[in-house]
Amino acid sequence: MKNPVHVAVTGAAGQIGYSLLVRIASGQLLGPDQPVILRLIEIEPAMKALEGVVMELQDCAFPLLKGIVPTCDLNEGFDSASWALLVGSVPRKAGMERKDLLGINGKIFTSQGKAIQENAASDIRTLVVGNPCNTNCLIAMNNAPDVPKDRWFAMTKLDENRAKTQLALKAGVDVTDVKNLAIWGNHSSTMYPNYFDATIGGKAATDVITEEAWYKDEFIPTVQQRGAAIIKARGLSSAASAANAAIDTVANIIKPTAADDVFSVGICSQGEYGIEPGLIYSYPIKSDGEKLSVVEGLDINEFSQQKIKETEAELSEEKTMVSDLL
């Protein structure tokens, strides 16, 4: 039996946490032969709810779950963690400006970054889900300078999954036939699902779905506004699909990517495709099972160029708003 891996999850008593934890504990995050210890981090007022979550996890009697540490102490929470899934953050409330939200959440990610650096295992990798996830990730990364920059990720996989499904529905094919569809930029309404490189059944998506207006007038807005549509329908934001995307992201990072595919995740840009270095920017990525690389040499047309710059501009602006936290 392998040694257990410590997985820290913030916002563990929240909606995404509720869907995510059972999947981690059942072996869906790190594999069916990898025991885990869950380190569940919450704020003080949510500790009672977290107690209930812990009881449910215990009641599942998961064979791979070797321990649960519920805590509101960041040092204890990130102790020995090899994966940190930063889900918890404060939601935007009516009348709150984006700058206010960035400031409030920024402070959370400053202390979490510091606690990760001080307490986590030397192989720590961090995936930020809590919004605004790219800039929260930027803040945490900059507050943990000893943790290599290629260990920080912001989640855009949910957007990729949403985009793939829209293409599959339109083309009348199985979702597994859609490949090479990457989200560029920020996990926000400026994100760009670059359909020009996507394939459907091995052919260029644009040769299968040929109506250009559909991509611009329906596909892109549907993907960009999907989160809002779910809130409108469900009265709550996406949780099961977000938890699923977090599981998918970790699998994408730790397993080699198929030759005919890519995946999306926000990483620390090194200036690929002319994007400002240091921003957490989502690109088409491949993994060799250890290291990630941005797919280079893609032909970016004028439309895509404009889109990838628009979302970069938003990220640069967010960075400026939190410059005192970096």
289 annotated to a ligand binding site: no
226 annotated to a ligand binding site: no
Min dist. Cβ of residue 236 to ligand NAX (A): 7
The residues, any chain, with a CB within 8 Å of residue 211's CB and separated by 6 or more, are: none
Distance CA 186, CA 184 (A): 7
16 annotated to a ligand binding site: yes
Min dist. Cβ of residue 63 to ligand NAX (A): 26
Asked about 6 being catalytic, the answer comes back as no
Contact 265, 157 (CB under 8 A): yes
180 annotated to a ligand binding site: no
State the catalytic residue, choosing from 187, 226, 307, 319: 187
308 annotated to a ligand binding site: no
Min dist. Cβ of residue 111 to ligand NAX (A): 8
201 annotated to a ligand binding site: no
Min dist. Cβ of residue 136 to ligand NAX (A): 8
Min dist. Cβ of residue 174 to ligand NAX (A): 23
Binding residues for ligand NAX, per CB under 6 A? 10-11, 13-17, 41-43, 46, 87-91, 108, 129-131, 133, 155, 158, 187, 227, 237-239, 242
Identity of the residue, 193 or 227, whose beta carbon is nearer to ligand NAX in the bound complex: 227
C-beta pairs of 63-66 under 8 Å, 24+ apart in sequence: 64/25, 64/26, 64/27, 64/32, 64/34, 64/35, 64/36, 65/25, 65/35, 65/36, 65/37, 65/38, 66/4, 66/35, 66/36, 66/37
Contact 126, 48 (CB under 8 A): no
Neighbouring CB atoms inside 10 A of 303's CB total 14
Please identify the residue of the shown chain whose CB is closest to the bound ligand NAX: 14
Give the pair of three-digit tokens for residue 36: 């885990």
Identity of the residue, 217 or 240, whose beta carbon is nearer to ligand NAX in the bound complex: 240
Distance CA 125, CA 200 (A): 32
Q: Where on the phi/psi map is residue 277: left (φ > 0), alpha (ψ -120 to 50), or beta?
A: beta
129 annotated to a ligand binding site: yes
Identity of the residue, 6 or 187, whose beta carbon is nearer to ligand NAX in the bound complex: 187
Min dist. Cβ of residue 247 to ligand NAX (A): 13
Identity of the residue, 71 or 199, whose beta carbon is nearer to ligand NAX in the bound complex: 71
- Residue 132, preceding peptide bond in cis (omega within 30° of 0): yes
The secondary element (H helix, E strand) that includes residue 309 is helix 302-321
Identity of the residue, 19 or 199, whose beta carbon is nearer to ligand NAX in the bound complex: 19
Distance CA 118, CA 169 (A): 47
Supply the angle between the helices 98-119 and 302-321 in degrees, to the nearest 10: 80
Question: Nearest-CA neighbor of 269 among 158, 143, 137?
Answer: 137
Identity of the residue, 46 or 285, whose beta carbon is nearer to ligand NAX in the bound complex: 46
Please report, in range form, the residues annotated as the binding site for substrate.
92, 98, 131, 162
User: Which residues are known catalytic residues?
Assistant: 187
Please report, in range form, the residues annotated as the binding site.
11-17, 92, 98, 105, 112, 129-131, 162
Please report, in range form, the residues annotated as the binding site for NAD(+).
11-17, 105, 112, 129-131
